[in-house]
Amino acid sequence: MKVFIVGIAGGVGSRLARLLTAAGDRVDGLYRRPEQGEHLATEGIHATHGDLTRLDAPALADLLHGTDVLVFAAGAGGEGGTTATTAVDGTGLTTAIEAATRAGIHRLLLVSVFPEAWRGREVSDTFEHYIDVKKKADAELAATDLDWTILRPAALTDTPGTGRISLAPALVHTDITRDDVAAVLAELVHTPQIHHRILELAQGPHPIADAVRRQTRN
């Protein structure tokens, strides 16, 4: 299977690339800073240099030849303020959807966020904007004819993965390791019968393969 990861050098994207490469999948993806490509190459991961905000859909589609699954794991991450969030998390997804459609790719997995993340806390206008853009991106993808899956992880941590999670259409917002998010995405990539689903992901008691398999029955 060939998987293209937009945001392949990111915390989640790079972990997913390693897992898929180890599983024997062909991996490519978009990274923004030149040194990231060198780093990925030392791990045997091929990736493509490019800035999502500067690529139009035809240009991105040209990079997607032979792709079976497109994973969108990019995000501005607060860097560059609301303008960057709109450009990467919002317009960037629009470009990815159009590119997937042009390239004849049916499956798109989107890494999103709990819309109610950090309710009850004082959050900045920038954070509210981020949540708004992410929710609109979910809605845009859900309205397409693609075989989409939207994964909404809880707050991301860099502690080692546990391999145990909760995965369901609705969960209480807690946290989840980036290792476990990547492992869930890898499992979803290999579970094509799951599509047209919004799944929330948080720490929990269930082994990842079991939790994903359970979603094939719903």
Ligand X SMILES: NC(=O)c1ccc[n+]([C@@H]2O[C@H](COP(=O)([O-])OP(=O)(O)OC[C@H]3O[C@@H](n4cnc5c(N)ncnc54)[C@H](OP(=O)(O)O)[C@@H]3O)[C@@H](O)[C@H]2O)c1
Residue type, 99: A
**Options 37, 90, 153, 204; binder of ligand X; rule CB under 6 A:** 153
User: Can residue 88 be called a binding residue for ligand X (CB under 6 A)?
Assistant: yes
What are phi and psi for residue 24, nearest 5 degrees?
95, 5
- Shortest gap between Cβ of 217 and ligand X (angstroms)? 26
Neighbours of 122 (CB within 10 A): 6
Listed in sequence order, the residues at least 6 apart from 184 whose beta carbon sits closer than 8 Å to its beta carbon are 151, 165, 167, 201, 208, 211, 212
Sheet containing 164-168, strands listed edge to edge, beginning at the edge strand earlier in sequence: 48-49, 26-31, 2-6, 69-72, 107-111, 147-153, 197-203, 164-168, 206-207
- Shortest gap between Cβ of 52 and ligand X (angstroms)? 3
Stretch that binds ligand X, among 56-64, 74-82, 95-103, 120-128 (CB under 6 A): 74-82
User: Can residue 75 be called a binding residue for ligand X (CB under 6 A)?
Assistant: yes
- Shortest gap between Cβ of 145 and ligand X (angstroms)? 23
Binding to ligand X (CB under 6 A) within 101-130 occurs at 111, 113
Nearest to 115 by CA among 138, 86, 83: 138
- Shortest gap between Cβ of 163 and ligand X (angstroms)? 19
Nearer to ligand X, 31 or 105 (CB): 31
Q: What is the DSSP letter of 209?
A: H
- Shortest gap between Cβ of 214 and ligand X (angstroms)? 22
Q: How many residues bind ligand X (CB under 6 A)?
A: 24
Helix (H) or strand (E) holding 26: strand 26-31
Write out the two tokens for 186. 């890898």
User: Can residue 63 be called a binding residue for ligand X (CB under 6 A)?
Assistant: no
User: Can residue 184 be called a binding residue for ligand X (CB under 6 A)?
Assistant: no
User: Can residue 64 be called a binding residue for ligand X (CB under 6 A)?
Assistant: no
- C-alpha to C-alpha distance for 63 and 61, rounded to whole angstroms: 5
- Shortest gap between Cβ of 164 and ligand X (angstroms)? 18
- C-alpha to C-alpha distance for 156 and 131, rounded to whole angstroms: 15
Binding footprint of ligand X on the chain (CB under 6 A): 7, 9-13, 30, 32-33, 51-53, 73-77, 88, 111, 113, 153, 155-156, 178
